[in-house]
Amino acid sequence: MTGMHRAAWICGVVLLCLFNVSVAFHAPVPLSLRTSSQGRAVRFERSLAGSFARSAAWNRVPENRVAQRTDGVTALSMASSKSPVQQLVIFVIGFGFLFGALYPLINNSLRFAQADKSMSGAATRMRQQEIDERVVRVPAFAVTDDKGSPYVAEYNGQNKGYFFLDATEAEKFASKVKSLQPKDAVVKVTPMTLDKAIKYVKSKKNGDPFDIIPAQAQVDTALTIKNPDTCDICWGAEGVKSQIPVFWIEGLGLERDGTVVTPLFFDRAQAESFYAKLNKGSPPKVEVFDLSATIKKMRKGGSAEFRKVLFYPAPNAVEYANKLLKASGTAPESPELFPTAGAQ
C-alpha cells in the first residue's frame, strides 16, 4: 500500500470511528411505558442494545404515531432528537468514510482509458489461455545444449538457470557457459516464447531455480521514471517486486484488427516512437508497470481495460529471435513466429 493509499484508508477509518460515536450519542432511544395485552406495565431500559432490539421488532411508522406489535403491545415512536446541523455532520462524516475507502480503487481504475461499460467485475477476468495468447508474442532466450535443455550456473553455492529478454545478454551468458564446458559440448542460444519461460520458472518439477532476466538498459530507464502513488502495479508500489518492466503511455491506443488496444512495451524507446507518430509536439507521460503484477491484474479482473492490453516486445529481440529460427530451419515462411513492429 503506497503512502497516498495508506493515508486515504486511515482517513476512512478515523471518519468511521467518528461516525459511530456520533450515532451512539445522537441515535433516538424510544422511552415509554408500554402496556401488554394482559394489562401489565413493562419498563424499558435506556440502552442502545434495547433500542436496537425493539426497533427490529416494531413496524416502521411516521413520527409520533402508534405502532401495533403482533403480540398486542403498543408503543409510542418518539421523534428524532437530532437537529439539522447534527444530521448534516453525520452525513458529511459518512460520505468522508466512503470517499476515503473507495478513492484509491476508483482513482487507479480511471488512470486507464474509460472501460467498456458492457463488462465489469468477474466478467473482466482473463483465463490463463487468454493471457498466454498475449505473452506468446514476446521472445525469450535460453542457453541450451543440443537437446534443448537449459544450462545452469553456480551462484553462491547454488545452481541457477536463466531466461533472457535481451539476446545480447543471452549471448554473453552462452560465452561464459561454453568456456566451462568441454570443447565438443553444444552451447547455443535458443529462442522461445515468454509464456513457456514463465511456466518453466513456476514449475516445481525443476531441480534448480530459474529466473527471467530483463534487458538491463530497460531496467536502468525504468528506474528514472516517477510513477504516481496510486498505481498498484507500478515499479516502486508496495507489494510489487519490480522485476520485468513494461512501459505504458497515458492516452496511447493503437488500432489492431479493427479494435483499439492498450499497448504495453518492453522497450521504452519503441513506446515513445509510437507516441511521437500520433501526438506530435506534446511530451509523453510514461509509466512503468511490473509484468508479473500486470498479469495478476489481468487474471483478477475488475476493469475491462486490462482485457485490451497487448504486449509489444523489443524490436531487437524480435529481429534476433526470427534470425535464429530461420537459421535453424524451424521458422515458418509467413507469418514470422514473432511479428515485427509493422505487423503488430
pLDDT per residue as tens digits for the range 310-329? 999 999 999 999 999 988 87
Q: Annotate 91-118 with b (16+ C-beta within 10 A) or e (fewer).
A: eebbebbeebbebbeebbeeebeebeee
Pick from 48-57, 85-94, 149-158, 334-343: least confident: 48-57
What percentage of the chain carries pLDDT values higher than 70? 60
- Which amino acid makes up residue 63? E
Tally Cβ neighbours within 10 Å of residue 225: 15
Whether residue 186 contacts residue 234, with contact meaning beta carbons closer than 8 Å, is answered with no
Residues comprising the chain, all counted: 344
Mean pLDDT to the nearest integer, 130-137: 92
- pLDDT at res. 310: 93
Q: Is the pLDDT of residue 48 over 80?
A: no
Three-class DSSP category at 308 = helix
Query: Given a cut of 60, is residue 138 above it in pLDDT?
Result: yes
Q: Which residues contact 234 (CB under 8 A, 6 or more apart)?
A: 227, 228, 240, 287, 288, 289, 290
Residue 238's pLDDT is what? 87
The angle that helices 291-300 and 128-135 make with each other, rounded to 10 degrees, is 150
Residue-wise pLDDT tens digits, 199-209: 999 987 778 99
∠ Cα 110 116 119 (to 5°):
110
Cα 329 to the chain's mean position, in Å? Answer: 40
Is the pLDDT reported for residue 149 higher than 70? yes
pLDDT at residue 241, rounded to an integer:
86
What is the enclosing helix (H) or strand (E) of 294? helix 291-300
pLDDT at residue number 340: 53
The mean pLDDT value for 139-154 works out to 93
Mind listing the pLDDT tens digit for each residue in 253-280? 888 888 899 999 999 999 999 999 887 6
